[in-house]
Chain A
Amino acid sequence: MTGTVAPLDVSGTSATTRTASVAFTGTGTLVRFGLRRDRVRMSVWLLALTLGTLATAAEYKALYATPEERAAAVGSMDSPAALAMTGPRHYLSDYTAGAMLGHQLLGFMAVLVGLMSVLIVTRHTRDEEETGRAELVRSTVVGHHAQLASALLLAAVANLALALLLALGLTAMGIDGIGPGGALLYGFTHAAIGLVFAGTAAVTAQITAHTRGASGMALAAIGVAYVLRASGDVGNDALSWLSPIGWIQRTYVFVDDRWWPLALCLGLAALTAAYGFVLSTRRDVGAGLRAARLGRRTASDALTRPFGFALRLHRGTLLGFGAGLCLMGVMYGSILGEAADMVKDVEQVQEALARIGGSTVAESFATMVMVVVAVVAAVYVVMAALRPRAEESAGRAEPLLATGLSRNRWLGSHVAVALAGGTALLVLAGLGFGLAGAASAGDGGLVLDLVGAAVAYAPALWVTVGVAVLLFGWFPRAGALAWIVPVYAFLVGYLGPILQLPDWMKNLSPFGHVPQLPAAGMDWPPLLALTAVAAGLILLGLMGFRRRDLETK
């Protein structure tokens, strides 16, 4: 793998440059090797992100062809709920198809590009160390910074490729309001935000010894950046300036075409990446910065019961999501009061509200927040419900199922944690949102309303669990398909109103059947039906698992 690395020329270089270059020896080879490993994965990411953008641009062109239609779009966007989900209001001043991309799509794409970059970096750093492959690689002629450097370079390659693909694709479409200069900037906003989160991952990959922990921390940073910009765009603009996602949205691409906010991103990316290199010198290969702690000599009573054991395995993820969702609820809740005050042009807002079906500005805003809360909880639920699959592939299910623990009880305990955990997350998010919202809007009755609105999504979460369990029971290798449920729910819930998707597309998602509380009224039958579907799917999944071979290493 490192065959191309030339032996060091000791005579010609000074001692300092030598140590510096030695630390990066083999980086080029590792980058090429990484590109080879990721050729399919990376291509899929780049194609999906590019095609998604181009398809949205085409939709905008078709939906908002006339100035009147664009004015109507401005009207529907000029509400706190819409701004929290999209971007700063300044885009509305010249709402062309290009401005719509910058306003509505950019923030959403920033999250996805960030996700791609984080996964690339952790996959080529922490995951390599955790699986022990790094040890093998590092024992060859490879410098101690080479793996992190090559991971960051891989992320840079992917992000630059995405920038160019977007710039070329958008220019080639020749849509009114999407010029070549703007398209180029639009592409590079993606590269800039991708590099920021690659740098973040370079830091988190040093802190913990686990890939999931490293990715999780970096994803939490993306979440914080998103919530900061959402709060800033609705309320105090300064909050948005704390968020790199806010920075790229403030290029006002296709409106003002400012390039300088990208310099902020590059600066932050360089700083975090450099910090990652510094941190990596303070730890051993395979270890995190936090030393491994010793634990208990014997197991507690709870741990030796199936449910207690499953809960212990899920504990970290559940606590992380709980803290994140609660925080998200509090942040959205704290701007609920401002949202109600934002009404300027009463007539237009009423029109927009009629489309969402809400009765007040605050209620329609709350309804939108619930969609996001439910999707985040669904992400947790899929992770939790696929945990048995991870245990099985890792070979850790085998010794357990060779004891007096039946397959039903083993799988059932994980399912129970997923069902209860998902519901608890909704309660937490609803509580955070309700308490902060009640404080900011001065209406104590909101607490119960908003908790109820969040919990109404529980049956849809249970169906999501059911889908994952069904796949695990009958088609274990296709378990990852369960991710389609939250991704589809997000696309339909987020882009649905913007792209005016037909109702049947909404109805394909379990989340599409949940009553839109608090804007709409309570509706029991769909919730009961969803619960019954969830129970059916779970029972079927258990049945399949009882009948199949356990996959062993």
Chain B
Amino acid sequence: MKKAITVAGLHKSFGRTHALAGLDLAVEAGEVHGFLGPNGAGKSTTIRILLGLLRADSGGAQLLGKDPWKDAVELHRRLAYVPGDVELWPGLTGGEAIDLLAKLRGGLDRRRRDELIERFDLDPVKKGRAYSKGNRQKVAIVAALASDAELLLLDEPTAGLDPLMEVVFQDVILQAKAAGKTVLLSSHILAQVEKLCDRVSIVRRGRTVQSGTLGEMRHLTRTTVEAETERPATGLDAMPGVHGLRVTDRRVNFAVDGAHLDAAIRRLGEFGIRSLTSHPPTLEELMLRHYGDELASGGRTGKNDPASSGAADTLDAAAPSTGGKGGVAR
């Protein structure tokens, strides 16, 4: 498949803050790509570099085969952008702002615009200053989708939207995907990402720590297993890839790395399985795996520079205690 976005080793500093420390990102044409990470991880900075609003200090970025800084205007005709914090002109109505943004982008499908306004239940005759945060967000979403862009850059687009509108948004994005558009979706809403995205990239402190399909990621991470056997299970603690084993009489409880799941279940079978439940890791657990240490140490200290967090790149690096994971899985 053709790459819609290629980013390699991107660096960007603002004064003493290193927003990006060698970020990589690859988005295939036609896919919906989730872009995950906590506030301050560098997601917005990356998107603004892709838009040519910021200039990278070093590293390469290509958008639809072009340079986002040099070919900004040409690229902007082919893409649409929704910022996470939409500011509107206080004296312009929402309808005027939609038309302005869509026409400056190069074209407006009026039928599509009216349909989207209807679906998002937006009042287009109110002035910008009268809109709530959610409604400002809707204005930007409608403006982005009302023009025929082949690439959508969405930076936490649904912040402030109510759950009903969230459903409409997901539906509209799936439509865009079906129409062959590429979407880069930065989000905090994991359910949204699980539903919409083909592949995800997780960023932390300015670099990508994991990238792939959700299936791949699940395979590479631990599955929680709870079982009841006819005879007390033994020997599991000696098996590779098994963590946090607890055996109480006939009940057994452990987490196992994806690669060793098969062997562990076979071993269990030898003791006669009466009941078996297993949870694949949720996206939340995948995220916690990369950020659990920050939670444990009471938040981001900032002392931990990106270089030392490189250890997280290896998937078998020390994971948070299974107790914490088990809590999520139950």
Contact = CB atoms under 8 A, between A and B. Distances in A.
B53 A296 contact: no
B53 A398 contact: yes
B85 interface: yes
Interface residues of A, number: 35
Contacts of A403: 76, 101, 104-106
Contacts of A36: none
A400 B104 contact: yes
Nearest to B55: A549
A33 B97 CA distance: 38
Interface in A387-422: 394-396, 398-406
B87 interface: yes
B140 A399 contact: yes
A400 B87 CA distance: 11
B89 A313 contact: yes
Nearest to A401: B53
Contact of B90 (A210, A294, A401, A547): A210
B35 interface: no
Interface in B37-57: 44, 48, 51, 53-55
23 contacts: A209-B129, A294-B93, A295-B95, A297-B95, A298-B96, A299-B99, A299-B100, A303-B96, A306-B104, A309-B100, A395-B87, A398-B48, A400-B104, A402-B51, A402-B76, A403-B105, A404-B73, A404-B106, A405-B76, A406-B72, A547-B55, A549-B55, A550-B53
A304 interface: yes
A406 B73 contact: yes
Given A394-B87, A399-B86, A403-B76, A304 B53 contact: no
DSSP majority for the A interface?
A: loop
A53 B43 CA distance: 54
B229 to A, nearest CB: 57
Closest 9 CB pairs of A and B: A299-B99, A295-B93, A403-B104, A304-B103, A395-B87, A402-B81, A299-B96, A403-B105, A550-B53
A395 B155 CA distance: 14
B247 interface: no
Given A399-B81, A552-B48, A294 B126 contact: yes
A312 interface: yes
B96 A553 contact: no
B220 interface: no
Given A295-B126, A404-B73, 4 more contacts: A292-B127, A295-B125, A404-B106, A552-B54
Contacts of A309: 100
A290 interface: no
Contacts of B86: 399
A37 interface: no
Contacts of B98: 299
Interface string A19-54: 000000000000000000000000000000000000
B29 interface: no
Given A296-B95, A303-B99, A396-B87, A404 B104 contact: yes
A550 B98 CA distance: 22
A404 B100 CA distance: 11
A293 interface: yes
Nearest to A397: B53
Q: B44, B54, B99 — which one has the most chain A CB atoms within 10 A of its CB?
A: B99
Nearest to B124: A297
A467 B125 CA distance: 38
A298 B83 contact: no
Contacts of A304: 99-100, 103-104
B46 to A, nearest CB: 12
Contact of A405 (B87, B99, B104, B126): B104
Interface string A515-553: 000000000000000000000000000000001111011
Nearest to A400: B104
Contacts of B159: none
Given A296-B93, A402-B53, A552-B53, A395 B130 contact: no
A399 B101 contact: yes
A297 B93 contact: yes
Nearest to B49: A549
B77 interface: yes
Nearest to A550: B53
Contacts of A395: 83, 85, 87
Contacts of A292: 126-127, 129-130
Q: B85, B93, B100 — which one has the most chain A CB atoms within 10 A of its CB?
A: B100
Interface in B133-151: 140, 143
Interface string B99-113: 111011110000000
B288 interface: no
Contact of A404 (B76, B85, B99, B126): B76
Contacts of B106: 403-404
Contact of B101 (A210, A400, A550): A400
Contacts of B95: 295-299
A133 to B, nearest CB: 15
Contacts of B90: 210
A550 B54 contact: yes
B88 interface: yes
B85 A295 contact: no
Given A294-B125, A304-B104, A313-B89, A399 B83 contact: yes
Contacts of B127: 292-295
B92 interface: yes
Contacts of B77: 404
A525 B285 CA distance: 74
Q: B51, B104, B140 — which one has the most chain A CB atoms within 10 A of its CB?
A: B104
Nearest to B126: A294
Nearest to A391: B89
Contacts of A405: 73, 76, 104
Interface in A303-317: 303-304, 306, 309, 312-313, 316
A295 B96 contact: yes
Contacts of A398: 48, 53, 83, 87
A299 B104 contact: no
A177 B77 CA distance: 72
A548 B51 CA distance: 14
Contacts of B93: 294-297
Contacts of B100: 299, 303-304, 309, 400
A402 to B, nearest CB: 4
Contacts of A306: 104
Contacts of B88: 396
B54 A549 contact: yes
A550 B68 CA distance: 14
Interface in A414-454: none
